[in-house]
Amino acid sequence: MPTALIPGTFDPITYGHIDIAVRASNIFKRVIAVVATNPSKSPMFSADERVDMAKEALAGTGIRRIEVIGYSGLIVNCVMEYGASAIIRGLRAVSDLDYEFQMAFTNRNMLESAETVFLMPSAKYAYLNSTLVRQIASYGGEIGEFVPESVKRRIIEKMSAK
């Protein structure tokens, strides 16, 4: 059963991530969004919150072959643990490529069988990232076109708790 992992921070999950997960599920039988619980960035949401939000948002696709896990450690270890055949990364623009090449080659150096597969999102999400969503929300802007309702609610709660 070919499995693909989608690693990321998911801080929070957006329609861009969801778009990539759905596309991946058209190619792979089992798709696992791997939420980095030890990211180098300092996230707005805790690991548990990011996992919960991703679960809720991806359940909304109705595709039960898409799962969510939290993972602390190297993605290549996760690839081995789950017997995955691919690491999926979303490519938004050419500007993503430099960093993505570094990551893909580094992962391959650590594990020869770790294949990275790049998928392009729908054009309407090509500019979307989690940082942008957090910034717009922090100024009280409307984020309903970028994230599902459940995520929007959590962002608003988090902002008002501050």
Quick one: the chain helix, strand, coil %, rounded to 5?
Answer: 45, 20, 35
Catalytic residue among 85, 130, 134, 154: 130
- Of the ranges 5-13, 61-69, 71-79, 150-158, which one interacts with ligand ADP (CB under 6 A)? 5-13
Of the residues 92, 108, 152, 158, which one makes contact with ligand ADP according to CB under 6 A: 92
Of the residues 30, 89, 134, 154, which one makes contact with ligand ADP according to CB under 6 A: 89
We find the least distance from the C-beta atom of residue 92 to ligand ADP, in angstroms, to be: 5
We find the least distance from the C-beta atom of residue 102 to ligand ADP, in angstroms, to be: 13
Sign of the dihedral through C-alpha 119, 122, 127, 131: negative
We find the least distance from the C-beta atom of residue 160 to ligand ADP, in angstroms, to be: 23
Q: At 157, list the tokens.
A: 């709660």
Rounded Cα gap, residues 17 and 35, in angstroms? 11
The answer to whether residue 28 forms part of the interface with ligand ADP (CB under 6 A) is: no
Angle value at C-alpha 6, between 150 and 96, nearest 5 degrees: 100
The answer to whether residue 116 forms part of the interface with ligand ADP (CB under 6 A) is: no
Catalytic residue among 92, 108, 152, 158: 92
Contact predicate 35/10, CB 8 Å? yes
How remote is the C-alpha of 52 from its chain's centroid? 13
The answer to whether residue 12 forms part of the interface with ligand ADP (CB under 6 A) is: no
Q: Catalytic residue numbers?
A: 17, 41, 92, 130
